Amino acid sequence: MSAVTETVPVAAPGNPLGRSVRDSLIVAKRNLIRMSRIPEVVIFGLIQPIMFVVLFTYVFGGSMKIGGSTSAIDYKNFLMAGIFAQTVTFATAGSGAGIADDMHKGLIDRFRSLPMARGAVLTGRTLADLVQTAFTLLILAVVALLVGWRVGSFGDTNAGKVLGAFGLLLLLGYAFTWIGALIGLTVRTPEAATSGGLVWLFPVTFLSNAFVDTGNMTPWLRHIAEWNPFSATVQATRVLFANPGQSHSHAWPMEHPVLASLMYSVLIIAVFRTLAVRKYRSATA
pLDDT of residue 71: 66
Counting residues of the chain whose pLDDT is more than 90, the rounded percentage is: 31
Query: Residue 208 CB: number of other CB atoms within 10 A?
Result: 24
The reply to whether 243 falls in a domain is: yes
The reply to whether 249 falls in a domain is: yes
pLDDT of residue 3: 43
How does pLDDT run across 86-105, given as a tens digit for each residue? 999 988 887 888 888 877 77
Tally of domains within the chain: 1
The reply to whether 9 falls in a domain is: no
Under the banding of pLDDT at 50, 70 and 90, the label for residue 68 is low
**Predicted confidence (pLDDT) at residue 120 exceeds the cutoff of 70:** yes
pLDDT of residue 58: 75
The reply to whether 103 falls in a domain is: yes
* Main-chain dihedrals φ then ψ at residue 106, nearest 5 degrees: 85, 10
**Predicted confidence (pLDDT) at residue 112 exceeds the cutoff of 70:** no
pLDDT of residue 76: 83
The C-alpha atoms of residue 190 and residue 196 are separated, in whole angstroms, by 10
The reply to whether 175 falls in a domain is: yes
Cα–Cα nearest to 266, from 241, 224, 232, 240: 232
Cα–Cα nearest to 213, from 244, 190, 180: 244
Residue, of 166 and 143, whose pLDDT is higher: 166
pLDDT of residue 94: 79
**Predicted confidence (pLDDT) at residue 2 exceeds the cutoff of 50:** no
Please count the residues of the chain: 285
Query: Mean of the per-residue pLDDT values for the chain?
Result: 83
Counting residues of the chain whose pLDDT is more than 70, the rounded percentage is: 86
**Predicted confidence (pLDDT) at residue 8 exceeds the cutoff of 70:** no
Bridge partners for 69 per DSSP: 66
Cα–Cα nearest to 151, from 71, 57, 78, 45: 78
Q: Kindly report which listed range (80-94, 96-110, 196-210, 251-265) carries the lowest average pLDDT score.
A: 96-110
The reply to whether 12 falls in a domain is: no
The reply to whether 1 falls in a domain is: no
**Predicted confidence (pLDDT) at residue 253 exceeds the cutoff of 90:** yes
Residue, of 254 and 65, whose pLDDT is higher: 254
For residue 69, the enclosing domain spans: 17-283
The C-alpha atoms of residue 222 and residue 78 are separated, in whole angstroms, by 18
The reply to whether 3 falls in a domain is: no
pLDDT of residue 208: 92
Residue, of 272 and 100, whose pLDDT is higher: 272
Torsion of Cα atoms, 17 then 22 then 28 then 34, to 10°: -150
pLDDT of residue 165: 95
Q: Kindly report which listed range (12-21, 164-173, 261-270, 274-283) carries the lowest average pLDDT score.
A: 12-21
Q: Measured in whole angstroms, how far is the alpha carbon of residue 257 from the centre of its chain?
A: 17
**Predicted confidence (pLDDT) at residue 196 exceeds the cutoff of 90:** no
Across the range 21-46, mean pLDDT stands at: 80
Under the banding of pLDDT at 50, 70 and 90, the label for residue 6 is very low
